[in-house]
Amino acid sequence: MKKKILLIPLALLLAISLVATGCAAPAPAPAPKPAPPKEVVWKMNAFRPATQMEIPYMQLACDEIYERTNGRLKIDIYPGLSLGHDRSTWLRDIKAGVIDISCIYNAYTAGEEPSFTVGEMPQIWRSREQGLLAANAFFSFKKKVYKEVWGGEMVGMGTILEGGRENIFTKGKVIRSIDDMQGLKIRTPGGRYKELFTELGVAPQSLALGDVYMAMKTGVIDGLRTGSGTVNQIKLYEVADQAVKLGSWGALSQDLVVSDRVWDELPADLQEIVRDVWKRWGEGMFAHVIHCPYVDDLYWQKRNEAEGMTYGKMPEEELAKIRKVALKILAAWAEKEGGRPLEAYEIIKPFVVAQTEPGVPVMFSK
């Protein structure tokens, strides 16, 4: 018993001695640092080739998203449909979740969502500004359809950066009226382009762009409908020497759509950053086209003229006739389709109907 009593004071003295000499009990180990947030990587399906200026603009937006999310979200762009997905199924691919994010060109959605193609009807616009105003009014409709029908979140809307007007290029044939186009074999896109040019008395031809040069050289076709930049890039000035300017390009809308599969997994703070960046990306593209609508077109026109090509313009009275035919085709199509195509037509109708007569000033007129 005495031995136990003596041990207690000894232990107490030892503890006091350790404190006095500064030998405190060891501190608890620090808590492990939380693991950094996992980087999310999206693959973007982009239809424009890497050589087109839209791709660098998209890359700037992707870089900003990566920076503002502190590396938590990275978007890799695959231009020219290099992910291997076909544009004929890109809405179904978004719905199935096999594409993370896609840049969807509205003109190519006819087989899946015809309502999105309403604003792309050729030759109904007197200016790109007019078409873009209609596209802006169309945004809420498309956002709802993407979400409810195609399982995607529309985070932005841009446009193809083409300025100026559509043209018809020919060899030795001067066109200044609808009568001048009668019976000509003109390479055009399909769909309502084909319907319009058929109605105007042209014999539309379906031909891959890579085959146009030789077809023009050998007289298989009389001309083609395209832009001045395309003609210069494929050196068509070597086999065509006449160009006539038609009406303006349409809205040429490009929608940025994220599959719900990946969108729903993204934290809310990152969702807001994605929306903000792509919203400003779209506004920037619209501003480029609205404030510099003919810069690109004029640049390529001058280069083609330096190669010997002569440009002319279809008189406004003739363009008004073309617009009237185009609008009649569009209205009849929308009425026949009904449903969402008709609803979409009613949205853009106020922006186009009042502009079909010559002399009506365009919106955002310069």
Domains of the chain and CATH, by start: 40-162+251-291 (3.40.190.170), 165-249+295-326 (3.40.190.170)
Q: Is residue 252 within 8 Å of 162, Cβ to Cβ? A: yes
Q: How many Cα neighbours within 13 Å face the side chain of 85?
A: 25
Closest CA to 121 of 326, 336, 325, 320: 326
What mean pLDDT do residues 147-153 have? 98
pLDDT tops 70 at residue 21: no
Q: How confident is the model at residue 189 (pLDDT cuts 50, 70, 90)?
A: confident
Taking the C-alpha atoms of residue 43 and residue 116, their distance in angstroms, rounded to an integer, is 24
Closest CA to 199 of 314, 358, 329, 320: 329
How many other CB atoms sit within 10 Å of the CB of residue 161?
Answer: 18
CA distance 313 to 329: 24
Cα separation, 17 vs 337, whole angstroms: 95
Query: How does pLDDT run across 111-137, given as a tens digit for each residue?
Result: 999 999 998 888 998 887 888 888 999
Long-range Cβ pairs for the range 46-51 (8 Å, 24+): 46/77, 46/78, 46/79, 46/80, 46/81, 46/102, 46/103, 47/80, 47/81, 47/87, 47/103, 47/104, 47/105, 47/108, 48/79, 48/80, 48/103, 48/160, 49/79, 49/80, 50/79, 50/80
- Quickly tell me which residue has 């193809």 as its tokens: 160
Contacts of residue 297, defined as CB under 8 A and 6 or more positions apart, other chains included, come to 162, 163, 164, 165, 227, 228, 229
> Strand, coil or helix: what is 139?
helix
Decide if pLDDT at 192 tops 90: no
Q: What stretch of H or E contains 151?
A: none
Summarize the confidence of residues 216-232 as an average pLDDT. Answer: 92
Closest to 306 measured CA to CA, from 241, 262, 213, 215: 241
Please give the average per-residue pLDDT across 34-48, as a whole number. 84
Give the DSSP H/E element, type plus range, for residue 210: helix 209-218
Taking the C-alpha atoms of 198, 232, 103 and 114 in order, what is their torsion angle to the nearest 10 degrees? 0
Is the pLDDT confidence value at 144 over 90? yes
Place of tokens 């990946």: 262
pLDDT, averaged across the chain? 86
pTM for this predicted structure: 0.81
**How many C-beta neighbours within 10 Å does residue 57 have?**
16
Whole-number Å distance between alpha carbons of 145 and 46 = 20
- Lay out the sheet containing 223-226: strands in order across: 203-205, 185-187, 223-226, 165-170, 242-248, 310-313
Confidence of residue 353 (pLDDT cuts 50, 70, 90): confident
Predicted confidence band of residue 5 (pLDDT cuts 50, 70, 90): very low
**Beta carbons of 156 and 256 less than 8 angstroms apart:** yes
Average pLDDT of the residues in 182-205: 93
What's the pLDDT at 4?
Answer: 45
Tens of pLDDT, residue by residue over 233-253, are 889 999 999 999 998 887 888
Task: Report d(CA 321, CA 180) in Å as an integer.
Answer: 14
Query: What is the model's pLDDT at position 234?
Result: 87
Determine whether 25 is exposed, middle or buried from the number of CB atoms within 10 Å of its CB (0-12, 13-18, 19+): exposed
Give the whole-angstrom CA distance, residue 113 versus residue 107: 10
CA distance 131 to 250: 5
